[in-house]
Amino acid sequence: MIKSILGAIVVFTRPNIDLFGLQNPIMSNLGFLADPKTNPVAYTLLASVDLFTLWSLALLIIGFAVAARLSRGKSAAIVIGWWIIVNLFSLIGPAMQMMRR
């Protein structure tokens, strides 16, 4: 929610904004290190490493450990494992885009 509010403030205060600015308005992730046009796979992978996502993962690990009565290490393995699987599936689209070139 905080990321959305900050993103909306940044978008509405800029006089002009391009598509890249809409995808990454506050640059809280590592996506700025790769060009989304020339290397969409690297951009998608780096954009998934976000400050807000890491905070959400930490909260999920703690909550899952408490709710499931598991150790934090086991809950971290489960939560981060699922996060990696979801991110791997998100790379399918950019990989297909790279193969078309």
DSSP 3-state of 93: helix
Q: What confidence category does residue 100 fall into, taking pLDDT thresholds of 50, 70 and 90?
A: confident
Domain that holds residue 94: 29-100
**Is there a domain that residue 94 lies in?**
yes
- Predicted local distance difference test score (pLDDT) of residue 86: 95
**Is there a domain that residue 16 lies in?**
no
**Is there a domain that residue 22 lies in?**
no
**Is there a domain that residue 90 lies in?**
yes
**Is there a domain that residue 17 lies in?**
no
**Is there a domain that residue 8 lies in?**
no
Threshold 0.85, pTM exceeds: no
CA distances from 63 to 4, 43, 50, 74 (A): 23, 30, 20, 12
- Predicted local distance difference test score (pLDDT) of residue 16: 78
**Is there a domain that residue 3 lies in?**
no
**Is there a domain that residue 79 lies in?**
yes
What is the percentage of the chain residues whose pLDDT exceeds 70?
94
Tokens of 20: 């890249």
- Predicted local distance difference test score (pLDDT) of residue 31: 86
| Residues 46/34, Cβ–Cβ less than 8 Å | yes
Looking at the structure of the chain, the number of domains it has is 1
pLDDT tens digits, 12-57: 887 777 665 666 777 788 988 888 888 899 989 998 999 999 999 9
DSSP annotation of 70: -
Q: What confidence category does residue 73 fall into, taking pLDDT thresholds of 50, 70 and 90?
A: very high
- Predicted local distance difference test score (pLDDT) of residue 98: 85
The dihedrals phi and psi of 3, each to the nearest 5 degrees, come to: -65, -40
HSE-up (13 A, CA, CB side) for residue 27? 5
| Residues 97/39, Cβ–Cβ less than 8 Å | no
